[in-house]
Amino acid sequence: MMAAKILIIDDENLFREDLAKLLCRRGYDCKTAVDGNMGLAVAEEFDPDIILCDIVMPDLSGIELLGEILRICPESFVIMITAYGTIDTAIEAFRKGASDYIIKPLILEDVLQKIERLLEHKCLSDEIRFLRRQLHREVECSLLVGQSEQMQKVRELVRKVSTTTSTVLITGASGTGKELVARAIHENSTTTEEPFVAINCAGIPEHLLESELFGHTKGAFTGADNEREGFFELAGNGTILLDEIAEMPQALQSKLLRVVEERKFIRVGAKKSIAVKARFMASTNKNLEELVRSGQFREDLYFRLAVFEIHVPSLKERRDDIALLCEHLLKNLNRKLKRNCHGVDNEAIRMLLSYSWPGNVRELRNVIERAMILATGEFITPAELPSQIAGSVEFPKYSDDLRTAVAAYEKEHIRRVLLAAGGNKEECSRRLGINPSTLYRKMADLGMISNNSS
């Protein structure tokens, strides 16, 4: 187990170094800083569990320093130290986020008790976060519905990259669920409780995009009446998703490249740089490699973003997931619309399977919501589907031979009901009104499974 990290910020050299030695002997990993500015720099690099901070210092007082420390290290606990203890300073310290308060001259055992108490609290908080992450993994990706081979591959890639801080590029047509993939990565990461900030690069006017990303100082440009944080600051230690990255102006692409490389940025109108701790993700519905070749997208930025690429398949590439998606959408929309729709009937499912879905999952959601609003019974029927979907069905051409035609119809009907049952053969046999053994025999006879399958 790693030693707990403690940072001591105090301008009294002898006191500071003696306390550090004593804590090191007790097994803690200690670093020290002689003033507030040095303390901020060390805290940002060291990321301590506990910070012991003097209140009275020459450059920045401990009270002034406290807010900035907690912004840089939001999970650290701060114990304020002073030789001039008053109720007022104690109240002010607690109000600004201090976890405890001690008065010089220190009694080492008291200090150790306070440190141990806070570390126990941190351990419990970490355990709660871990359990929440496990819960997220179990429901994981209720966001990423589907059992097709393509979606299983997407989920596997999400699982693998979630444990890292690598930059991720998510590609796929509009409406496929690229932002859901980004959210699934964030929800399964170690920073799931931190912000997830999605920025639509195509939805913000070009002249405002830099300010929206990086923030600005007061007076930086006409209309900048106040200082403002940008999305990169708001993301904190969480995740930044640059949606539709291909739409970013080239002048801003070069600035973004520097931010990704150096992990810091400068507000518009400012001079001091600010560290970026958030993870970068980007998404696009365009082929960035083609845009690089045509000179519309920076090659060096593309390679920085495409460290780990995930392609989200179109809905027509994973038609086998349509029935499961319908079931998932119905469950959510029943709550939203206060309905009790039980499902989509077989003929309507057949129509949904035959449609080309140019708008992908987003279009499917709109179709199901519209159908639920129109439906009068417990199931969605073809009558509630839009004409472009109802008219897209290509019915199979059966042979004139009765036995061949019946077998072809049986095979098609079993396939549709099996899809509607989410691939569950026991549920499929129940819907068909036959025994599971009969279903297996029929599927084998119709060439849908091997005769040796069990």
Domain tally, the chain:
4
Angle of helix 108-139 versus helix 13-25 axis, rounded to 10: 60
Residues 420 and 416: their CA atoms lie apart, in Å, by: 6
Are 340 and 355 in a shared domain? yes
Residues 425 and 412: their CA atoms lie apart, in Å, by: 15
Read off the pLDDT band of 261 (50, 70, 90).
very high
Are 178 and 249 in a shared domain? yes
Q: What is the dihedral sign for C-alpha 179, 183, 189, 190?
A: positive
| Residue 423 and residue 148 in contact, taking contact as beta carbons nearer than 8 Å | no
Statement: residue 402 has pLDDT above 90:
no
Quote the domain boundaries for residue 331.
315-390
- DSSP per residue, 110-157: HHHHHHHHHHHHHHHHHHHHHHHHHHHHHHTTTTS---SHHHHHHHHH
Residues 150 and 317: their CA atoms lie apart, in Å, by: 8
- Structural domain includes residue 395: no
By CB atoms closer than 10 A (0-12, 13-18, 19+), residue 187 is buried
| Residue 138: per-residue pLDDT | 41
| Residue 18: per-residue pLDDT | 92
Are 285 and 169 in a shared domain? yes
What is the CATH number for 351? 1.10.8.60
| Residue 414: per-residue pLDDT | 86
Are 224 and 83 in a shared domain? no
What is the CATH number for 417? 1.10.10
- Who's near 406: CB < 8 A, 6+ residues apart? none
Are 195 and 272 in a shared domain? yes
| pLDDT, tens digit, 9 for 90 and up, residues 55-94 | 888 888 888 888 888 888 888 999 988 876 666 776 778 8
| pLDDT, tens digit, 9 for 90 and up, residues 187-220 | 888 888 889 999 999 888 887 888 889 988 888 8
- Given 127, 160, 179, the domain boundary residue is 127
By CB atoms closer than 10 A (0-12, 13-18, 19+), residue 315 is buried
Are 65 and 157 in a shared domain? no
| Residue 454: per-residue pLDDT | 44
Average pLDDT over the chain, rounded to whole? Answer: 86
What is the CATH number for 170? 3.40.50.300
Are 223 and 319 in a shared domain? no
| Residue 298 and residue 254 in contact, taking contact as beta carbons nearer than 8 Å | yes
| Residue 202 and residue 208 in contact, taking contact as beta carbons nearer than 8 Å | no
Mean pLDDT across the stretch 400-408?
Answer: 72
Are 306 and 174 in a shared domain? yes
| Residue 197 and residue 335 in contact, taking contact as beta carbons nearer than 8 Å | no
List the 5-9 sheet strands across, edge first. Answer: 29-33, 5-9, 50-54, 77-82, 100-103
| Residue 294: per-residue pLDDT | 95
Are 167 and 214 in a shared domain? yes
Statement: residue 37 has pLDDT above 60:
yes
Are 117 and 81 in a shared domain? yes
- Given 69, 100, 127, the domain boundary residue is 127
Are 159 and 285 in a shared domain? yes
- Structural domain includes residue 136: no
Rg of the Cα atoms in the chain: 30
| Residue 359: per-residue pLDDT | 93
Are 66 and 187 in a shared domain? no
Tokens 């998932």 sit at which residue?
328
- Structural domain includes residue 262: yes
